[in-house]
Amino acid sequence: MKGPVVVAVMDGVGIGARDDGDAVHLARTPSLDWLIAEAPFRLLRAHGTAVGLPSDDDMGNSEVGHNALGAGRVFDQGAKLVNAAIESGKLFEGDAWRSAIARVKQTGQPLHFLGLLSDGNVHSHIEHLFALIRRAAQEGVQNVRVHALLDGRDVPETSALTYVEMLEKVLAEIRTSGKDYRVASGGGRMKVTMDRYEADWPMVERGWKHHVRGEGRGFRSLGDAVETLRAETPGVIDQNLPGFVIVGDDGEPVGRIEDGAAVILFNFRGDRAVEISRAFEEATFTKFDRGAKPDVFFAGMMQYDGDLKLPAHFLVPPPEIERTLSEHLAANGVTQLAISETQKFGHVTYFWNGNRSEALAGETWIEVPSDTRPFEERPWMKAAEITDQLIDQLRTGKHRHARLNWANGDMVGHTGVREPAIVAVESVDLQIGRLLPVIKELQGALLITADHGNADEMYERDKKTGAIQRDEHGRPKAKTSHTLNPVPCCLYAPSAPELRFDETMKNAGLANVAATVLHLLGFAAPADYLPSLLTTSE
């Protein structure tokens, strides 16, 4: 290939049922339609075991999707590794767990658990939390406090009370033995604590105030908080519930995080865990005024960043993703560009490179700042600006390989609002239309795919029958989470019309893309990479 080899990831654009809830189908997408009809096209698996998740009932997500794209192999991912470490008991034999228990036993301070309260299995799993809580009780920990982030993004949009009930039941059971196990604070995951890629530090600051300092509106219980806040803001979905603290009979917060305590962040996925971990760990911290930093033992479920060694203590070792496509290209002197907007910047850099935050030799990373307003109000997001810069960069001739992520299908898909999701997909298609002539002019190749579905299902479906679920007024129920659908994969390489996908390859997935990129760049893939999608008989 004379020109650059470009991989475009349309985040959250799967191939779905092509019905009334499928914004990818409903969108007018002349460029994608043309590629699907005229250029090499196939579907790729992007969920479950194809991306290292425990089962094929697990939807894909950006972390596992971009890890697979960038690593060319399938690694067991956080969800699966934590299950195994709990089952084997290894988690509880590790230094981090032992130190947390020892600390609170010595000081009498609570053991605090902070994380996303759902069974979404993208960032966390509620059963992991329960296993940790039960084990703490068995080991004689007297006080536990839970800081619960409400989901509605990886699970149905107003499902929080299901998880609240489950949690309260576990805590109540343990209290019967005279222990003091309670919820201490909480809030919607898109309002507090779980910001990523430094898009919105004030979100983390709000979370810090609630969880650590006990500041914020007080409620008597987690259920009371959810119900009252919902009643006050009709239509609000769980991910957007404001933060709060739980107060006791005396009106005082029941679970400030104070000197001598131990804190376990039970999310296993890194992107949205890095900032709050930094707030707990960094000696000098300038992102917001955190007040006096409590002297706590802090541990993450995993180590979230292999370059920064963040956090220092973790319960389960992360997947060892090594010899990535980027490393291979860097070692061969191939120049690479990675570009996206803030919300997905780390996806094409950190996740793509196996959860490492430092650029390799010959890599250029460009971040276009994202909006911080609701994405359904601006579904075009920064797709055009990303493409502007990408085209300028490609024309310099500096980059042999480029990868980009258009965030629209995913970020707008997560709002659960269908009309803007349609505009989101159309916005991406418009940019594809701009890119095609540039690829032709430079005699390069463009591989367009996605990391998982999202906008392809904007309505909840019945798990058994597949029928669209409706509320009591007959209106379809909005769906905010990712999907199990396969993703498209199209190749546009007008200067190499002989290139074809190997049609005999049946079960290909995202992890086959890395070898395909190497193939297009004229390199043999390492023997343990999943094979290139292209035929070799030309």
Whether 63 and 77 have beta carbons less than 8 Å apart is answered as yes
**Annotated binding-site ranges for Mn(2+):** 11, 62, 410, 414, 451-452, 482
Distance CA 229, CA 217 (A): 11
154 is a site residue for ligand 2PG (CB under 6 A): yes
Distance CA 220, CA 254 (A): 10
CA nearest neighbour of 293 among 261, 265, 315: 261
Q: Smallest gap, in angstroms, from Cβ of residue 9 to Mn ion?
A: 8
DSSP 299: E
382: left (phi over 0), alpha (psi -120 to 50) or beta: alpha
* DSSP-derived secondary structure for 472-518: TTSPBPB--S-BS--EEEEEE-TT-TT--B-TT--S-BGGGHHHHHH
- CA quadruple 369, 378, 156, 148: dihedral positive or negative? positive
**Annotated binding-site ranges:** 11, 62, 123, 153-154, 189, 196, 269-272, 344, 410, 414, 451-452, 482
Q: Is residue 161 helix, strand or coil?
A: helix
If binding means CB under 6 A, how many residues of this protein chain bind ligand 2PG? 10
Residue 62 annotated in active site: yes
272's contact among Mn ion, ligand 2PG, none, with CB below 5 to 8 A by partner kind, is ligand 2PG
Strands 111-116 and 262-265, sheet pairing: parallel
342 is a site residue for ligand 2PG (CB under 6 A): no
- CA trace torsion 388, 390, 395, 396 (10° rounding): 110
Which C-beta is closer to ligand 2PG: that of 154 or that of 205? Answer: 154
29, 31, 62, 267: which one contacts ligand 2PG (CB under 6 A)?
Answer: 62
Going by C-beta distance under 8 Å and a sequence separation of 6 or more, which residues neighbour residue 138?
none
Distance CA 34, CA 152 (A): 35
Which C-beta is closer to Mn ion: that of 253 or that of 354? Answer: 354
153 is a site residue for ligand 2PG (CB under 6 A): yes
Each residue 58-97 as x (binds Mn ion by CB under 5 A) or -, in order, gives ----x-----------------------------------
Backbone angles phi, psi at 425, to 5 degrees: -70, -40
Backbone angles phi, psi at 406, to 5 degrees: -95, 120
Rule CB under 6 A: which of 377-416 touch ligand 2PG? Answer: 410
Retrieve residue 15's tokens.
């191939």
Rule CB under 5 A: which of 405-424 touch Mn ion? Answer: 410
449 is a site residue for ligand 2PG (CB under 6 A): no
Each residue 263-282 as x (binds ligand 2PG by CB under 6 A) or -, in order, gives ---------x----------
Each residue 219-258 as x (binds ligand 2PG by CB under 6 A) or -, in order, gives ----------------------------------------
**Annotated binding-site ranges for substrate:** 123, 153-154, 189, 196, 269-272, 344
Which residue of the set 31, 55, 62, 357 is catalytic? 62
Which C-beta is closer to Mn ion: that of 255 or that of 346? Answer: 346
Distance CA 443, CA 427 (A): 25
Rule CB under 5 A: which of 192-231 touch Mn ion? Answer: none
Q: Smallest gap, in angstroms, from Cβ of residue 172 to ligand 2PG?
A: 29
Retrieve residue 85's tokens.
């470490």
Which C-beta is closer to ligand 2PG: that of 77 or that of 532? Answer: 77
Q: Is residue 306 helix, strand or coil?
A: coil
Give catalytic residue positions: 62
Q: Given the rule CB under 6 A, which residues bind ligand 2PG? A: 11-12, 61-62, 122-123, 153-154, 272, 410
